[in-house]
């Protein structure tokens, strides 16, 4: 039987938006948390880069450590909360040293878990301590607990998710306002929804980190970022969003994982067209959503805020309550030593439907050329759109396909790109029916 402490002494590394939120919850909900966890959560020490920065936090009587790694060895700290971020450097050092010193770790660091999750899980198990990371995926949505505990009786079939609020905000605003990507991105940066360097979000890397964790839990594999196919949303234009609506779809950046051909695990991040009737199509602005399909439970849908002080801090403190209860299980659901390497399912073998937009000079024979390329690649066209326009001017030709293989579609794209009448790179978006 696991030991329940009467007092859990906490050290926090990182006092940004989330760290500040954790401090406030610990202070404002002290009595409630003690009742629910069966032990008092006492904030003993904190560490951050700039001690002089105004944070609006009450830190009287709380020790300040200039070096965050000091939290990992302090004898008066039982659990270290790592909120620094990044797969390497100080964040990895703090977590590794804390586990080596027999301290529980709670983290919101998706990059760290995606890159080193199996190694850190093995260390936590060897030292008999907890490694919890609910806040690393989808903010306040309890995805990790749902997969690891609530649905543990299920064999997972497929997980489809919106995991980046910045991208969802940009795509939603483009649709609502009819504005282009660059304009909306600049507005998102001005409002603080997007970073000054937004590439981590808009190029799909943030979603990929989270999906790697989800796939590892769902299919009992070591996280493997190299196994992911990743595309972002930079190429999505207001024209694509308009045609998507005309065809009965919305465009979302999705993370998708499933098991294909026995041992292979599919992990892909890319923009998708999804039917307007799909639950994921209704998720707007900076919200996240996760759709889980299990063999016993069927389909579940979780939606909520995927970032921010309140939602993410809520997930961090939930993990602290588990530690106070003495609740501990293998961080990746099963012992790390039993986790095989993740065998990726190559995206070239994907079968699905596709949207293809070609900007061409409309001359006799253009459609015949496009149709011939599709025919030669065994691609069956499901629909075609070409709006009225002036002769000899650029026009968008949009077609959707029936089920075809990704490898055939990619070869068709290479051949289409050689057409003399093509005025811009071809745009391809996969169509999903989650």
Q: Could you give the residue numbers annotated as active site? A: 210
Q: Is 178 left (phi over 0), alpha (psi -120 to 50) or beta?
A: left
**CB-based contacts of 355, cutoff 8 Å, min separation 6:** 240, 243, 244, 247, 249, 273, 398, 399, 400, 427, 428, 429, 430, 431
Place of tokens 């067209």: 273
Q: What is the phi/psi pair of residue 354, to 5°?
A: -135, 150
Instruction: Report CA-CA distances (Å) from 85 to 90, 213, 288.
Output: 9, 15, 20
Short-list 121, 426, 406, CA closest to 266: 406
Q: Report how far residue 277's alpha carbon sits from residue 125's, in angstroms, rounded to the nearest whole number.
A: 44
Q: Report how far residue 257's alpha carbon sits from residue 223's, in angstroms, rounded to the nearest whole number.
A: 12
- Written as six digits, the tokens of 428 are 């391809």
Three-class DSSP labels, 163-205: CCHHHHHHHHHHHHHCCCHHHHHHHHHHCCCCCCCCHHHHCCH
How many H-runs (helices) and E-runs (strands) does the chain carry? 14, 18
Q: Where are the beta strands (DSSP E) in 26-68?
A: 40-47, 63-64
- N- to C-terminal Cα separation, the chain: 42
């Amino acid at each position: 039987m696991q030991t329940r402490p009467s007092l859990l002494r906490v050290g926090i590394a990182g006092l940004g938006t989330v760290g500040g939120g954790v401090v406030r919850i610990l202070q404002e909900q002290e009595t409630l948390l003690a009742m629910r966890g069966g032990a008092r959560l006492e904030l003993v020490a904190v560490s951050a880069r700039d001690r002089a920065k105004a944070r609006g936090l009450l830190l009287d009587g709380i020790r300040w450590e200039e070096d965050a790694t000091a939290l990992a060895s302090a004898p008066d700290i039982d659990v270290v909360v790592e909120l620094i971020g990044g797969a390497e450097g100080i964040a990895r050092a703090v977590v590794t040293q804390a586990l080596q010193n027999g301290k529980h770790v709670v983290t919101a660091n998706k990059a760290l878990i995606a890159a080193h999750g199996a190694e850190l899980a093995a260390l936590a198990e060897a030292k008999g301590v907890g490694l919890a990371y609910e806040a690393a995926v989808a903010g306040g949505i309890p995805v990790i607990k749902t997969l690891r505990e609530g649905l543990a009786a299920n064999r997972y079939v497929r997980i489809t998710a919106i995991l980046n609020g910045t991208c969802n905000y940009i795509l939603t605003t483009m649709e609502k306002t009819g504005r282009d990507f660059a304009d909306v991105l600049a507005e998102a940066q001005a409002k603080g929804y997007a970073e000054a360097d937004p590439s981590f979000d808009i190029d799909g890397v943030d979603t990929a980190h989270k999906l790697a964790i989800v796939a590892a839990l769902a299919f009992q594999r070591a996280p493997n970022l190299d196994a992911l196919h990743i595309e972002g949303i930079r190429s999505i234009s207001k024209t694509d969003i308009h045609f998507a609506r005309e065809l009965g779809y919305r465009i979302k950046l999705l993370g998708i994982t499933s098991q294909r051909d026995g041992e292979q695990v599919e992990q892909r991040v890319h923009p998708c067209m999804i039917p307007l009737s799909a639950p994921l199509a209704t998720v707007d602005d900076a919200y996240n959503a996760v759709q889980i399909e299990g063999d016993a439970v069927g389909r579940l849908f979780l939606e909520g805020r995927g970032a921010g002080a309140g939602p993410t801090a809520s997930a961090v403190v939930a993990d602290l309550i588990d530690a106070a209860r003495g609740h501990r299980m293998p961080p990746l659901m099963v012992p790390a030593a039993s986790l095989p390497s993740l065998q990726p399912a190559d995206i070239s073998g994907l079968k699905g439907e596709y949207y293809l937009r070609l900007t061409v000079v409309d001359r006799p024979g253009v459609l015949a050329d496009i149709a011939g390329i599709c025919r030669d690649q065994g691609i069956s066209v499901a629909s075609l759109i070409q709006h009225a326009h002036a002769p000899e001017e650029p026009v968008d030709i949009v077609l959707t396909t029936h089920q075809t293989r990704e490898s055939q579609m990619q070869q068709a794209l290479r051949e289409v790109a050689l057409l003399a009448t093509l005025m811009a790179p071809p745009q391809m978006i996969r169509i999903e029916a989650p």
